[in-house]
Amino acid sequence: MSSGQESVFSEYETDTSQTSKLLRKFKETPFVPIGMAGFAMVVGYGLYKLKHRGDMKMSLHLIHMRVAAQGFVVGAITCGVLYSMFREYVMKPKE
C-alpha cells in the first residue's frame, strides 16, 4: 500500500468500536436515524391497527401503511438535505 492509502485507513481504524462509528454517523447525518425511527413507528402502529381495521380490505390497509412509512422517510430525507444545504451555504464558516 502507498502511504496515501494508509493515512486514509488509519483515520477509520482508530475508531474501531461499532457504537462509536454509529454515533459519529448519527452526528454527521441526524435525519437518517429520525427517518428510520419514524418508519419503525409507522410500521408498528400499522401492525397494531391491523386487528382493528374493520371492514377495510387487508391489501388497502397495507397500501396505506406503506405510503405512510415511505412518506415519513422521504420527509426525513428532505429535511436532512435542506439542513445540510442550510449548514453549507447559509451558515458557511468564514474563510
Q: Where are the domains of the chain?
A: 21-53, 55-94
Tens of pLDDT, residues 30-74? 777 888 888 888 888 888 888 888 888 888 988 988 898 888 888
Residue 88 dihedral angles phi and psi, to the nearest 5°: -80, -40
Between 75 and 30, name the one with better pLDDT: 75
pLDDT of residue 80: 85
pLDDT of residue 14: 59
pLDDT of residue 67: 92
pLDDT of residue 83: 85
Question: What would the mean pLDDT of 77-84 be, rounded to a whole number?
Answer: 87
Tens of pLDDT, residues 3-26? 555 555 555 555 578 888 778 877
Nearest to 88 by CA among 28, 20, 32: 28
Between 94 and 65, name the one with better pLDDT: 65
Rg from Cα positions in the chain: 20
**Prediction pTM value:** 0.61
CA distances 65 to 48, 53, 80, 84, 88, Å, are: 11, 12, 23, 29, 35
Cβ neighbors of 28 (< 8 A, separation 6 or more) are: none
